[in-house]
A and B are shown apart, each in its own frame.
Chain A
Amino acid sequence: DAGVTQSPTHLIKTRGQQVTLRCSPKSGHDTVSWYQQALGQGPQFIFQYYEEEERQRGNFPDRFSGHQFPNYSSELNVNALLLGDSALYLCASSLRVSRRQRNTEAFFGQGTRLTVV
């Protein structure tokens, strides 16, 4: 089992550019969530995808968008990059549970380190 894989591992972009980050979830998982972790901070929830649709969204602007493919893999897109977008972007995969069930844990990838200059 390869676990959660993210690509690329590191990326340097110029302010104003656009970036796409990719994530393959753990085998058997159908839900992908994205988090932004600024230096010295805890991860902040960006959004979650299930059945190829965005299901929940954190407090992030529309410059942040995503996609989920039929094989459950996902992309995170950020447009008009700002210096403040520099962070570690983490993908988490999990198995969707109903509201009556308890949450299962999420498995995280090693992240993509994005630097905006």
Chain B
Amino acid sequence: AQSVTQLDSHVSVSEGTPVLLRCNYSSSYSPSLFWYVQHPNKGLQLLLKYTSAATLVKGINGFEAEFKKSETSFHLTKPSAHMSDAAEYFCVVSDPNTGNQFYFGTGTSLTVIP
């Protein structure tokens, strides 16, 4: 069975400081992993995806994530937070045996303090 645990429901950082949003996954197969962002009253936008190529994945807006199989983690990072990064972030896992069915984490709300 697939599942995702986002370890922090809320993260608060100052503008210009690093961002770390933590995600652990459980999968019976080699998973595909994604990070999506959701701004208020908006749909979900893909930040980045891991599909068994390079373990360090670069996404949009300066975000990146590293797939660590030994730790079953896929943490999202950004070197310097911007005010526009304030949003809800979802870690997602899927595997080929279930087609494109996504399993979402409960989300991490990121606040950026000016």
A residues neighboring B (CB under 8 Å):
4, 31, 33, 35, 40-45, 48, 50, 55-56, 58, 90, 92, 94, 96-111
A90 is contacted by which of B43, B46, B49 (Cβ under 8 Å)?
Answer: B43
B16-50 interface bits toward A, Cβ cutoff 8 Å, 1 = contact, 0 = none: 00000000000000001010100001111110010
Once the chains are docked, how many angstroms separate the CA of A22 from the CA of B52? 34
How many contacts between A and B, using CB within 8 angstroms?
Answer: 76
Q: Which of A45, A48, A105, A106 contacts B103 (CB 8 A)?
A: A45
Which A residue sits closest to B109, measured CB to CB? A40
Q: How many B residues face the partner with a CB closer than 8 A? A: 27
Report B94 CB to chain A, min CB distance, Å.
5
Task: List B contacts of A108 (CB < 8 A).
Answer: 36, 43-45
Contact A42 B107 (CB under 8 A): yes
CB of A110, distance to nearest CB on chain B (Å):
4
Task: Say whether A99 contacts B97, CB under 8 Å.
Answer: yes
Kindly name the residue among A42, A96, A108 whose own CB sees the greatest number of chain B CB atoms within 10 A: A42
On whether A103 and B43 interact (CB within 8 A), knowing A41-B107, A42-B104, A45-B101, the answer reads no
Please measure, in the bound complex, the distance between the C-alpha atom of A50 and the C-alpha atom of B100, giving whole angstroms. Answer: 11
Q: How far is the CA of A33 from the CA of B101 in the complex (A)?
A: 8
Given contacts A48-B100, A97-B100, A110-B41, list 15 more A-B pairs with CB under 8 A.
A41-B106, A43-B90, A45-B101, A50-B99, A56-B98, A58-B101, A92-B100, A92-B102, A94-B100, A98-B96, A99-B96, A102-B32, A108-B36, A108-B44, A110-B42
